[in-house]
Amino acid sequence: MKAKWVVRALLLFVVYAAAMFVYIFISDNSGVPETLRGTVADPSTFMSQRELYLSEGYSKTRNFLYFIMTPFEWLIYLVILLTGLSRLFERAGQKSSKWAAGQTTVYLLFLTFTASLVMLPLRYVSYWVSKQYGLSTQPVSEWLKHHAIDLCFDFGWSFIMVSIIYFFIRRSVKRWWMYVWMATIPLMLFYSFVKPEIIDPLYNDFTPIENKQLEEKILALADQAGIPAEHVYEVKMAGQTNTMNAYVTGIGSNTRIVLWDTTLQQLSEGEILFVMAHEMGHYVKKDVYRGMILYFAITFVSFWIVAKLMNRIIRKYGKALHIERLEAIHSLPLYLLLSSVVLFASDPLSNMVSRHEENLADQYALELIGNEKDAISTFQALAKTSLSETNPPLLVKWFRYSHPPLIDRIYNVKKQEKKE
């Protein structure tokens, strides 16, 4: 019976992957609207035929990988449950230590290692695709190093969260989800505060920007925006990627203005100032705090849904999934599976809100800088260096685009220009 469940799950995943392949690679579900063809928003006016070809191939491949990687992770957790591996991991933890913390550590080591090992080929394919299309400049050794840092950080975070979750489950089977949600609020605020100082430097080198004249102009903009920043930081990314980025990170006294060195190398001064004005728009409009409120609201609903579903599934299918009771740590793969499904389903809402905030930040930057030409050339440069779709298919836009498609951003600039 359990073998049949595994086979059915695998077949369902194959059917889903095939459907996504048809949608992304075969269906004609994107393109430049007739009204925008030949305008500055049309990629054929600022990208070469080779760039258009690479953009289409890269975007479709990355979109397909995105839509199969998360469901593949669900499949891993389901198989771990159906095969009884989760129970075996729990017993290994019980044999290795008499302390709850030691048992949790051993269990998570087995679970994390198994899931990561199975996911590694897909993660490597994603890295390899970026490398083949010229976006990634990262050597395999550096990619493995960053992957190892991710694993260590994820393991530490998982240990904290799992300890909190099962602490409250064992004390209140009905209300654990609410207590866990309340516990995550100070944790996330603390993470946002220490991220610029402790987490980010684990991955990259941050140094004060070398171009002091540019720094003065950026800090002048920051002063206009009321951002408490004394320095602009440059992060060395050229050894990892050819893409560009800039952001304002942190909260309170830990706020940082950050530019990738690739951005400094590939954009003009006017374009860089527009990018920074856009990022400052997020700060001025309190998008970080609104984003946190939205995150807390989504996680509140997510914890409630997951708690309800876990109880029902364990009651009905607990025997088949080798789950004896909710409060046993071997139920963790079910929690991870359901949490991932619920959060994946919430992505369209999160992205819709984010795209709205990005539009407002673009408008703020235009008001602050007042240079539509630099805005348009910035978006065109971003499209070329990232090989991103300027007008993606609907499902891709819903699930993947936290920023408006570049064709919309360029079109909005032109509309603003006409109003003036």
Query: Known binder of ligand: residue 358?
Result: yes
Answer whether 332's CB lies under 8 Å from 314's CB: no
The DSSP result for 121-147, as a single string, is HHHHHHHHHHHHTTSB---HHHHHHHH
Q: Where are the alpha helices (DSSP H) in 41-139?
A: 49-82, 85-96, 100-132
Is 322 annotated for ligand binding?
Answer: no
Tokens of 127: 């890295």
Alpha-carbon torsion, ordered 398, 403, 406, 407, to 10 deg: 50
Tokens 């035929």, located at residue = 49
Please answer whether residues 4 and 369 qualify as being in contact, where contact means their C-beta atoms are separated by less than 8 angstroms.
no
Neighbours of 101 (CB within 10 A): 10
Strands of the sheet containing 206-208, edge to edge, are 206-208, 232-235, 256-260, 246-249
Please state whether 207 falls in left (phi above 0), alpha (psi between -120 and 50) or beta.
beta
CA distance 261 to 139: 18
- Give the strand pairing for 232-235 and 206-208: antiparallel
Angle at 67 between CA 56 and CA 148, to 5 degrees: 100
Q: For residue 114, give every residue at least 6 positions away whose Cβ sits within 8 Å of its Cβ, in sequence order, or none.
A: 76, 80, 85, 89
Q: Say if residue 278 carries a ligand binding annotation.
A: yes
Angle between helices 332-369 and 406-419 (to 10 degrees): 30
CB-CB contact of 244 with 274 (8 Å): no
Question: By the 8 A CB rule, do 183 and 210 touch?
Answer: no
Catalytically annotated residues: 279, 362
Question: Which residues line the annotated binding site for Zn(2+)?
Answer: 278, 282, 358
